Amino acid sequence: MRRIIAAALATLLAGLPGYSQQAASDRTFTLKVQSDIVLTNVVVRDKKTGTVVKGLSAADFTVLEDGKPQKIASFDFQSVDEAVALHESATVSGKATIADLVNRNFAANPALLKDHRLIVMFFDLSSMQPEDTDRAVEAAQDYINKKMQPADLVAVVSMDTGLSLDQDFTADKPALLKAVGRYNGTEGTGFASGNEGGNSGGTSDDASSFTADDSEYNSLNTDRELYAIRTIAKSLEGVDQRKSLLYFSGGLTRQGIENQASMRAATNAAVRANMAIYSVDSRGLQALPPVGDASKGSLRGTAAYSGGAMQSQLDANFGSQEVLATLSSDTGGKAFFDSNDFAPAFQQIQHDTEAYYILGFRSTNAMRNGGYRKLTIKLNRNDAKLDYRPGYYAPADFQHQKTEDRELALTEQLRSDLPATDVAVYLQALYFRMEENRFFVPVSLIVPGSQIPFLKNGDRDKASIDILGQVKNAQGISVGDVRDTVKLALDASQQVARKNIQYSTGFTLAPGRYHLKFVIRENQTGRMGSFETDLQIPDLRKAPLKLSSIVLASQQSPDTARTKNNPLIRDGVQWIPNIAHVFRQDQHLYFLYEVYDPTRQKEAGAGAPKPSPGLGRRPSGAVKVLTSIEFLSGGVKVYETPLISADTVNVPDRSAVAFQFDVPLTQLKPGTYVCQVNVIDDAGGTFSFPRLALRVDAPVRPPQAVQPTNAGGQL
């Protein structure tokens, strides 16, 4: 075995540049070791005057990582004053494309950036209304015309239907004015149809600009904005100087199940790239009338008089700003909210980056576990105040040479604070009541099939993915685990047009708050992806109308395993939830939901005995539950299913009335819809009208998903 390894090593070395037989005979070779250097900015100001302290050396600083001293390997001082004197006429080429950004060729000549103030203006047009865009553009134009300093180098990036690098770093004011002027039509021809700012989904109303491929599961959440920030940060990793991202946004509202891994990944990418995020809420100072403004329908009930409507508006406004504030605070920047004057944001960036020290060190902690490491920087004098980032995430590197190492790497990633984002993963969790204090929570994950490398094996392509998941309660105790390896095999016809890979599993939980985290690893290259989110299972005993989650599906498959006690399996057929809520016109849209403990008409009279709350009982008396489904486009109802009335409990084991709908989508035009499910307990006088967003596309004819059964779940 040693001879075989030696021969293989010699063959490998022979193919390397500079290798010779003489070197082989001398038994000498070059060994390359990867060494990561950690960079952090330090602003030193006098405590009394607030002026920047200059003239310090590396010997004046002490760097501690998790309390352990670190040796400073690199030291530099950046001052914009020197840039004015030495490079007043210097500029970077103004021509750049989005390919340059993705390929990390953004600001391709870092030498020209030294001793300059680097600002990236990022306009998130997909989240801004037209008036918000006007305010942001006017503020940028005012800064460029009146307040831009000779040392300032500015780049312009935007996102509507996609990410666009509109201007590389430059001091050319006309070029910058032309770039930002395109957003509100003051320069150039403005946007083409379907690319206007203010469209909350970043797409037009038809299907022409919506791509239902690997990114379709990001169309209804904030992942696309966070991935855009991560892309910008990664493209600037090769520039050592401090970068400032001025992020104009109309707010990021995180609703339902959101990918906290993408949030942490964006923050970590910004920290590693030495980029601080300065968030600006382009909506400015908002007036929130208690009864709403002209853009909303009139309120019903007492919410307008009890303060409930006002509190709801305040909560929604705070929620849309919370993500922006978190991005700024975690990257060393600042957030600017509730003001129509955006000038302080530019002033703050200029103040924070006028002069600073760049300290670099190689960590003595060799573990690459993705853990958070706290930084402490001290100065050998007491009359100065230091400003620096409080820490960073260690790199995560997984080697899978043995089975034990592979399992350890998967477990470490599950425990790691640093998310894995090399493989895109999205998750949906639902809930159905099984007993009075016990719920079944089906969990579905999708992974883009294009990100799974398949190996040729005859006429079939084979691959495998590892899945590890965990559910923790509010006390941080694990209450559910999943560990599964799924083997995939596709023939040539399926290979050409495969889409997403969907995996399903489930947990039995009590009402309460939980935290879910899943890790996916494809076993060809070892790349991983993770998804984590909070989950709230309601206590339906306190709900006037007890309603389960609403399942939207476009596929059904036979239940070959004959699974029991799974609400997603009806009459031997399994419902496969459509996680992205993206459908085609040639598909059927299936709805599934349950109403628990409906009111019995016979019990409505005074003095009538009440049934026992225990499940499995079947008290006398008929029920009357009415339901229908409406489809709204632009606030206008375009289709409604016939009204269905149920007068019996058709799932007696769970005391539930189950509803199933089959809606052919040929009658709906391509576009985005709001789907409202109307549920009325006529006997009890209670009701619920939950809403969901969905997308209908023109027919494309993708392949059918393969649904093999596995021990820990279903694919």
**Which one of 485-494, 679-688, 696-705 scores highest in mean pLDDT?**
679-688
Where is the domain boundary, 338, 354, 370?
A: 354
Q: Which residues of 26-45 are buried (b: 16+ CB within 10 A; e: fewer)?
A: eeeeeeeeeeeebbbbbbbe
Q: Which residues of 137-167 are buried (b: 16+ CB within 10 A; e: fewer)?
A: bebbbebbeeebebbbbbbbbbbbbebbbbb
70 belongs to a structural domain = no
Over range 289-304, report the average pLDDT: 61
Where is the domain boundary, 502, 525, 541?
A: 541
Q: Domain residues for 279?
A: 105-354
Split into its structural domains, the chain has a count of 4
414 belongs to a structural domain = no
**Which pLDDT band holds residue 170 (cuts at 50, 70, 90)?**
confident
Dihedral sign of CA atoms 336, 342, 347, 353 in order? positive
Give the whole-angstrom CA distance, residue 469 versus residue 485.
12
Residues 127 and 1 in one domain: no
Give the whole-angstrom CA distance, residue 68 versus residue 122.
38
404 belongs to a structural domain = no
Give the whole-angstrom CA distance, residue 485 versus residue 563.
20
Neighbouring-strand partners of residue 318: none
Q: Which residues contact 343 (CB under 8 A, 6 or more apart)?
A: 139, 142, 143, 147
Q: Please answer whether residues 159 and 171 qualify as being in contact, where contact means their C-beta atoms are separated by less than 8 angstroms.
A: no
401 belongs to a structural domain = no
* Residue 82 backbone dihedrals phi, psi, to 5 degrees: -65, -35
Higher pLDDT, 607 or 230: 230
Nearest to 388 by CA among 2, 44, 100, 18: 44
Chain segment 571-584, per-residue pLDDT in tens: 888 899 999 899 99
Higher pLDDT, 401 or 446: 446
Q: Taking the model in full, what pTM does it have?
A: 0.62
Residue 29 predicted with pLDDT over 90: no
Chain segment 81-103, per-residue pLDDT in tens: 665 543 434 444 444 444 454 45
What is the predicted pLDDT for the residue at 681?
A: 93
Q: How many CB atoms lie within 10 A of CB 608?
A: 11
Over range 285-292, report the average pLDDT: 66
What is the predicted pLDDT for the residue at 399?
A: 46
Give the whole-angstrom CA distance, residue 446 versus residue 424.
8
Residues 558 and 500 in one domain: no
Chain segment 303-322, per-residue pLDDT in tens: 666 666 666 666 666 767 88
Q: Please answer whether residues 99 and 332 qualify as being in contact, where contact means their C-beta atoms are separated by less than 8 angstroms.
A: no
Residues 194 and 297 in one domain: yes
Q: Which of 254-258, 492-496, 575-579 is predicted with the least confidence, judged by mean pLDDT?
A: 492-496
Chain segment 214-245, per-residue pLDDT in tens: 444 444 455 778 888 988 888 888 777 788 99
Instruction: Please name the amino acid found at residue 429.
Output: A
Residues 513 and 444 in one domain: yes
